[in-house]
Structure 1
């Protein structure tokens, strides 16, 4: 988009799932400009997701956001049945007990033993003897959800500027007249509110606006698509290691998506897989099942970005209230998108007592905890 000018109530930096979902919540209540440096929104983390919704993913601090988002995602047709199996060896018994204890006895998990696991995972090797079933795990239509958020934002009058790089911002004014002069590669605009939804680029965006960063670190994760023999069943659950060394799920036609659950500190870049991580993923799969890898058909990597305590960061910066953090969403930003965006809208607009957020404590995610 060429020659951006004018003023907006809010400029949101980043049009992945975070920025798109929040923009869709704010448009209609205020004028919104969503800025995306790539030609295609969702090119980085959003477009590289393994695409599942799990109440256990991200830990107990994330579960309230996941649970609040689930009904919305289901009602809008973005979830489909999958189921999950957390599997381990005998020496992982303490991990299984800890996982159950972390989430409480509310039916999220059903313990499974060797025979039950073998009935669900054809070709499972003999040393994988304990597990937990998470029947409520679902697949997410990530592209559909992201596209719906962008469409809603535009329908409500919001503007999406693609191929438009954020170059910096400077505050101006005081009191109710305060705002930001936002420098973009396509021009400059003014905004009352600057929202940092830049994912792996969250800290650099803060620095470019003169705001102190909070230590959001991008971590690279590798995924490979394999054709296996015998072909993976289409209805196979997502299989997750209790020790967090892999997970895989079927994607149709006998293929699976597999990750070695790697986390390599990375600068904010267009992430690419490394051969060692691809080899590690395949080695770990072959320790679990007796399937032959017939072909490595695709490989990719994405950056999952975390604050130091691995909780997301939602709220106004304590030193610069006109700067709003909406970042640090790790690998759970898609499954929590509806609740996170609603929470952020409430924080920005002073809305309280939203029934959707009844079980969510906003203080857990406030940026002030990291100062």
Structure 2
């Protein structure tokens, strides 16, 4: 099988890129699992928060929101809907977060939380810019678009061999032998292992396991109350229940594993301790892996040594929130390498968001790609704190 671009991984990252590329060049997606997005995106975070992450991620989040609105038109509210977000902690913690995100510290923390029923607050900071995304609907959309414009998806095709041949790559995936000009490593938690198979230097990506649980409530709550983040725990309504999630995560290895009963019990205890709600029985619980770059930013771009090997990994807990924007940038970069002019795709990100300089509203995709490049110098990643965008599964 021959193709211009081979994408490894059928999460929302790979699907959105295929949808952007396939109108202009041939695309094949290989997926180790029998179904697309089985491991990651279906359990991905639902909350888009464009105010507390680094400027590069804020720019990508805002652009992604624009692309979602354009793609769904009048139906966009079924995919993305507003939800207020409140961070609680010590006065110093919320003060630091307010400065970093340009937010306002609440004079009355309890009032800022509405009906969330939080206990023993010393400080809170709130933002009205949060957007909750239905990850399942979004990934189904990109899968349908990718197939409609000619992309091919090959399931049960674990990559077992990869070799540079001439100006391209020869890939063994499942029972297929595939030749491609560009290989895109969008394998999520498996991105570094894929690099090892291809004899490409790894990026030192950090897989982190996050567990979430939905508990029944003895009394109903307003489904529109804010998301509440405190002490490494995220709490928000989920249907008639209460979702409680681990916002920090713990080091793990790729793969689907059942949630630990001890972790689920800790989440129940946190919900009972941090809120006044009467927590009922467990409805469901799950664990998902978020993979981050060493500095907390994604890794996007052609490898510095291995020609034709394109990284698209490390999006962390914000994968759903930035995938459309990263697909736009990655597609423009790949098509340019293939000699296909797509300058109209290199737009939409404010220069002031990306780098803090230049004329507002002008394209600055080069600045974004430089910040995310696999060859960038990566400092030691700071430890997670209150200001990290919290994953909600």
CA distance in 1, matches of 2:113, 2:251: 38
Distance apart, 1:121 and its partner CA: 2.5
Which residue matches 1:114?
Answer: 108
Distance apart, 1:123 and its partner CA: 2.9
- Report the secondary structure of 2:106's partner residue: strand
Q: In the TM superposition, what whole-angstrom CA distance separates every residue of 1:60-80 from its partner, at most 9, and x where no partner exists?
A: 441111111112223421211
Which residue matches 1:36?
Answer: 31
Judged with a 3 Å threshold, the aligned counterparts in structure 2 of structure 1 residues 190 and 203 are, in CA distance, closer, same or farther, namely same
Q: In the TM superposition, what whole-angstrom CA distance separates every residue of 1:57-99 from its partner, at most 9, and x where no partner exists?
A: 64444111111111222342121122211122xxx11111211
CA distance in 1, matches of 2:24, 2:134: 27
CA distance in 1, matches of 2:350, 2:148: 28
Which residue matches 1:22?
Answer: 17
Query: What are structure 2's unaligned runs of at least 5 residues?
Result: 337-341, 355-367, 379-393
User: Cα RMSD between the aligned structures?
Assistant: 1.8
CA distance in 1, matches of 2:216, 2:69: 30
Counterpart among 211, 231, 235 of residue 224 in structure 2: 235
- Runs (4+) of structure 1 moved beyond 6 Å? none
Counterpart among 123, 134, 153 of residue 127 in structure 2: 134
Judged with a 3 Å threshold, the aligned counterparts in structure 2 of structure 1 residues 122 and 224 are, in CA distance, closer, same or farther, namely closer
Kindly indicate which of the two structures has a greater share of residues assigned to strand: 1
Q: Is the 8 A contact 1:192 1:322 kept in 2?
A: yes
Query: What are structure 1's unaligned runs of at least 5 residues?
Result: 1-5
Counterpart among 350, 354, 357 of residue 358 in structure 1: 350
Q: Is the 8 A contact 1:220 1:271 kept in 2?
A: no
Distance apart, 1:357 and its partner CA: 2.6
- Report the secondary structure of 1:132's partner residue: strand
Distance apart, 1:343 and its partner CA: 1.0
Residues paired across the two proteins, number: 351
Matched, 1:143 2:133: no
- Report the secondary structure of 1:355's partner residue: coil
TM-score (normalizing by structure 2): 0.85
Judged with a 3 Å threshold, the aligned counterparts in structure 2 of structure 1 residues 12 and 115 are, in CA distance, closer, same or farther, namely closer
- Report the secondary structure of 2:320's partner residue: coil
Which residue matches 1:252?
Answer: 239
Which residue matches 1:9?
Answer: 4
Judged with a 3 Å threshold, the aligned counterparts in structure 2 of structure 1 residues 80 and 234 are, in CA distance, closer, same or farther, namely same
Task: Give runs of aligned pairs for residues 74-223 of structure 1, distance below 5 A.
Answer: 74-75=69-70, 76=72, 77=76, 78-88=79-89, 92-104=90-102, 109-114=103-108, 117=111, 120-125=114-119, 127-173=120-166, 178-223=167-212
CA distance in 2, matches of 1:120, 1:239: 10
Q: In the TM superposition, what whole-angstrom CA distance separates every residue of 1:14-52 from its partner, at most 9, and x where no partner exists?
A: 000111111111111110001111111111120112411
Q: Is the 8 A contact 1:182 1:190 kept in 2?
A: yes
Distance apart, 1:272 and its partner CA: 2.4
Judged with a 3 Å threshold, the aligned counterparts in structure 2 of structure 1 residues 122 and 149 are, in CA distance, closer, same or farther, namely closer
Distance apart, 1:187 and its partner CA: 1.5
Q: In the TM superposition, what whole-angstrom CA distance separates every residue of 1:238-290 from its partner, at most 9, and x where no partner exists?
A: 1112x5x111111212x121113242111111132112221221222222112
CA distance in 1, matches of 2:137, 2:299: 25
Q: In the TM superposition, what whole-angstrom CA distance separates every residue of 1:183-240 from its partner, at most 9, and x where no partner exists?
A: 0112201111100000000000011111111101211000001112222321111111
Counterpart among 246, 255, 261 of residue 269 in structure 1: 255
Q: In the TM superposition, what whole-angstrom CA distance separates every residue of 1:275-333 from its partner, at most 9, and x where no partner exists?
A: 22212212222221121211111110000001111110000000012000000000111
Distance apart, 1:370 and its partner CA: 4.9
Judged with a 3 Å threshold, the aligned counterparts in structure 2 of structure 1 residues 344 and 115 are, in CA distance, closer, same or farther, namely closer
CA distance in 2, matches of 1:211, 1:122: 48
